[in-house]
Structure 1
């Protein structure tokens, strides 16, 4: 009987987003929503990928085989690009290879159980989601204060304040993530050659189709990984057969892959993002709580 080899235990990763919590255990992916808790064995998973969305989000998509429990065939969550990439890589590393996969009779089924109790507030939501809720609460209080003073127009304009503060936070987050990613690439990046594999047509949540070029490379530990490239007009019809990229091992994130263009773009756009964030914050302050503050001190 041939000896089977199994992957090493997965890292301690977790994501909390939009009321959904997912985490990795030694034998299964745990997917917890507001109603149920699903334990998805790695032997039931066929694929895990991170599809980039516009701006600063990615869709973590986990595809599972039918094990006769009536579960969805695809589990999907919109989260940060780093979280999505780290989870997709970690799950892929846990999926048994064809020679290591146990026979169908020995494969564990997906179990779905009702959620018994609610975890603490800070464990149910990501910091960004909590910040948005706090901002919405402050907006509501600001609007009520303006209505008490009879400032109905400025109470309505508070929405601009809410949008301004929200945009400022999003722009600052985007700038910090871009600089951090670029800095990791410069200081810890390992230059490697990625070869063209194939082209995929993917659809986002709005149904819009986009073209992605998939490149493969082998990291220093010998694991084959994928690099997703969004082609421009110049290389849409004839993709390059190889691309030079940098692979960044990290304790917090499994990998961070960037091209030279992406690194330069991060440094060039960061001042523009910060300037736009300051402008958005100024609009936010004028509308919330600027007007209410002037009424109180006047």
Structure 2
């Protein structure tokens, strides 16, 4: 895009947007796309996270690729799209909010596809923040929202986890230099390792031997150094400040909330269940799974419920 203006007034020019499409585009009488579903990934993911819905995109399935046209965008702040790393601005990149992510996406959809209305939006984890915020800020933009393994505000243990990650990063004096050093790579690894316990269920971790756990922990840390520490820091702060509790009554679209009892990030009793009570036109699916926060990778297990929900928008 030629430019993008953040809600704090900062403007960036020549903005990169990474995306992919999947499915079958269909048009109305005015030649506008009418069957678009936008997919939103989790923190520091990218467009490829949309692969989570592929197993239920078969003919006659909930997300039948012959019925729907999916657009998946690497969010503002995520590598591949406009971010601290891809712009090389590092710690001089403008601070951004979830509303900025929503507006970045909405502007791109308008400029690239001339889209002013979409059929629906799917959001997983941080993508759920984006989906709910879009439904609040632009209540007529979509007909439905699917919010998976997510919440309406970052609070309690999850807020403290984000604070802890911030403390680790800011404790390294090299962070302020805006250039990668050996010390920052080590700090990045430590900050990412703080997240290790918040993926699989406690039961799944308990059933691993200490040797297996140590190996998984080591691999997780080694893979994490592929992340840019500035991308991580900015995304972490964006999520840490997310809270739409008082605005949920502005949502007019139909909302499907998907949760997992074993999710260490967003336990249903604190997140999905109260959220479903605060959103008037919502449905709730809660399942048991050792995948925990990664349950969105097993949408096949709720294929029937998804199909029942999506039949209302075919």
TM-score, structure 2 as length reference: 0.23
- Of structures 1 and 2, the larger Rg is shown by 1
The higher-RCO structure (CA 8 Å, 6+ apart) is: 2
